[in-house]
Structure 1
């Protein structure tokens, strides 16, 4: 299974630094960095480089040969090189075969016009090739056009080589996962797709049919559309505008695969999961307790504005009260649980500065901005004094004042950012509170209707 990717290397190449004498402490230009990473002897021991081959260039002087071509055709600017990575499934190839496939890819794709350095590494636990391609052709001086067509051609050649050597091939690539989602999932943080997968897994565990699955997913805040007139089944959070193809969540989350999972799951596991889910539903649909309070609500001061909105928001997230932490129903509120640190800073700011309305927040921002400008002027004056000051106690005192002002500026800027974020997120928070209220009312109503049906049957 060969996975390929390619990226451009951009640099002016004005900084030509020799790295032969001390490679660990030398700064390289982008092209030198890539060539050094791919073929330097230092990497042989550190990263277990297996083979290095130069195509139309010497492996020891690959940088000099590629630069000679650029200078010959007077094309030293723009994209100076391209860095391609070809990776294979762990345990599927030997180092010899991996390098052979890399050289063959270079020959078929670029061998008739471009200089290429091919190196095989094993530093990640998987055999993979690094291919460094000179952007200027040694034959006619034309630059390589790395467009979408070229990428698909490179991928097709790599897949063809895998088929020729009886290796697995990804027939239907799912595409590249966005960088922020990839790292969030890797760190265990909740994402939109992660919450969808979690809800589907829980629904599969307690469903006896596709109809039951769709019903449970609706209770969890998701709508499933598997119409036969559609090519792909979709999933959409209640209140969201855009639906997501279920196949994008993974092969295990395609609607046909979900039906298979429901049919093959052990009934004892379904009963155990079902009992847990019913207990959660009963807790959510339970009406609030009635309590007698001393005094009168009419005479009590009512909390309104931003403070009331944020208290309500914290209740739905399970922060208040501390004794019982109800799990949010809507996917949007579940995703917000991951942002509790940001939310706590906003609540702290509202209570400390007594911000009860949007006008209060805007006034606070104006006040903070004036304080920041004043502190910046004071710090600029200290910098001017430091330039004219001689070393001694006076300089030490000025440095302490500068450090204290920098700390104060950092605090003020954090407060400013928190207040701005508060204003930006206010409409969305109101919308999420209304959606959560609506879902909780529907839960209570469905529970009441179910109790009535049971009483009528009796």
Structure 2
């Protein structure tokens, strides 16, 4: 198995200096010059005394001079912010190949992909647990002076394709993919925890599958959640449409288990089983949760009881602040599955607007706004400040006696203040529009959670009342006669 990646080699990348100097983020080689990179890839300590270093269209010792000569011959720039070379890394799984085999694959890769137009060197490193090749190729072709094009086609149709072909020819494993990547929204959602339409649909589908006992019941459950479902013999792929989405979402794109044939087969097998075995079958067919990973143990803090009063009194939040704080907390708990199912069904439409509610909550908390009167007063003050700052800015626009840089700096500062105040005014308008709905949703969610808790207690009482007589007397009739 060969894992490949390519990195541009530049001279003093000032814009990316902070990023390239952080070893926790990347191993990007921001070499001071091309000679330093070549000396690293051909280090004698890493390659066992130059046994695994080869050059194509140049010698390993004179590769740097030869590459610079090619650039000067075709009148290519050697200054800063220009790509001098490309660094291709080809890594192999530990213990899968020998050093001779790895170096042979790297040389064959250079012959097929690079050697007909570019100077390059191949160095096989043995200093880590996995063998890997460092291939440094000149950015300028010695044949026609054209630049090496580093794009998706070059990587997938050239570097990766040829590397996989060589691995198959040498009977090594190859990383197989389904050809589907991850969208930026999905990656950002996994990184920040922000919900997306697809993640909401996936969670609703899983809940509907678990609650239904047949395929028709699954369709009815999805429709009761507010989805429009496209399915049937004339529909190639089952899809649903969320009211907040712009297009349909194919269920088989979320998971292969959600395709129409798979769902029908799932419920067909489920209905063949006895009632007492169906829950076990659902657990077996459910998607496995990610494996538990051991993390480093953190020292537990020592708990100390404080007797006395704190020097500063923190009063309890009331009004707008308390309402928005509790509602945002409930939204977060419901999305992560830490609340009741009724709360999830009730609040799932507001998951997309979570950031909107958080901005409103932060504004109320920062300025201590608890009543509608204070909100209107704060909004009016901001509007008055905007008028005053706008008037000052108009005066600056008309002034010509001041120096231009100083005047532009003052105008930019005023514009920034006006933009901040306008943003707060917009949030105040959103609060006036959303507060009644947020208050009603919070009341309904608390009522639904209380009803579900009462139903659980009633079921527990019924279960206790149906126990054998020997245990029933001890659990129910506690007061005696």
1:24 is matched with which residue? none
- In structure 1, the gaps of 5 or more residues are 15-26, 274-302, 375-411, 444-458
- Secondary structure of 1:133's aligned partner: strand
1:134 is matched with which residue? 138
The higher relative CO (CA closer than 8 Å, separation ≥ 6) is in 1
2:254 is matched with which residue? 249
The Cα shift of 1:110 comes to 1.6
- In structure 2, the gaps of 5 or more residues are 15-28, 271-276, 285-317, 393-416, 449-481
2:343 is matched with which residue? 327
- Residue 346 of structure 1 contacts residue 419 of structure 1 at CA under 8 Å; is this kept in 2? yes
Matches within 5 A, 1:171-210: 172-178=178-184, 181-182=186-187, 184-185=189-190, 190-210=195-215
Distance in 1 separating the partners of 2:46 and 2:135:
16
2:280 is matched with which residue? 269
- Residue 35 of structure 1 contacts residue 62 of structure 1 at CA under 8 Å; is this kept in 2? no
- Secondary structure of 1:352's aligned partner: coil
Distance in 2 separating the partners of 1:118 and 1:55:
8
Q: Does 1:145 align with 2:146?
A: no
Kindly tell me the number of residue pairs found equivalent between the two proteins: 351
- Residue 238 of structure 2 contacts residue 251 of structure 2 at CA under 8 Å; is this kept in 1? yes
Q: Could you say what the CA RMSD is over the residues aligned between the two structures, in angstroms?
A: 5.8
- Secondary structure of 1:81's aligned partner: strand
- Secondary structure of 2:343's aligned partner: coil
Larger radius of gyration: 2
Q: Does 1:94 align with 2:74?
A: no
What CA deviation, in whole Å up to 9, does each residue of 1:132-158 have, x standing for no partner? 432201233221233454344214333
- Residue 317 of structure 1 contacts residue 337 of structure 1 at CA under 8 Å; is this kept in 2? yes
Distance in 2 separating the partners of 1:258 and 1:95:
47
1:67 is matched with which residue? 68
1:115 is matched with which residue? 119
What CA deviation, in whole Å up to 9, does each residue of 1:108-147 have, x standing for no partner? 2222111334456799987665544322012332212334
| 1:308–1:80 distance in 2 versus 1, CA, 3 Å | same
TM-score (norm 2): 0.51
- Secondary structure of 1:327's aligned partner: helix
Distance in 2 separating the partners of 1:35 and 1:231:
54
- Residue 54 of structure 1 contacts residue 116 of structure 1 at CA under 8 Å; is this kept in 2? yes
1:293 is matched with which residue? none
1:161 is matched with which residue? 166
| 1:108–1:427 distance in 2 versus 1, CA, 3 Å | farther
| 1:81–1:230 distance in 2 versus 1, CA, 3 Å | farther
- Secondary structure of 2:351's aligned partner: helix
- Secondary structure of 1:150's aligned partner: helix
- Residue 197 of structure 1 contacts residue 253 of structure 1 at CA under 8 Å; is this kept in 2? no
TM-score (norm 1): 0.53
| 1:3–1:13 distance in 2 versus 1, CA, 3 Å | closer
- Residue 80 of structure 1 contacts residue 134 of structure 1 at CA under 8 Å; is this kept in 2? yes
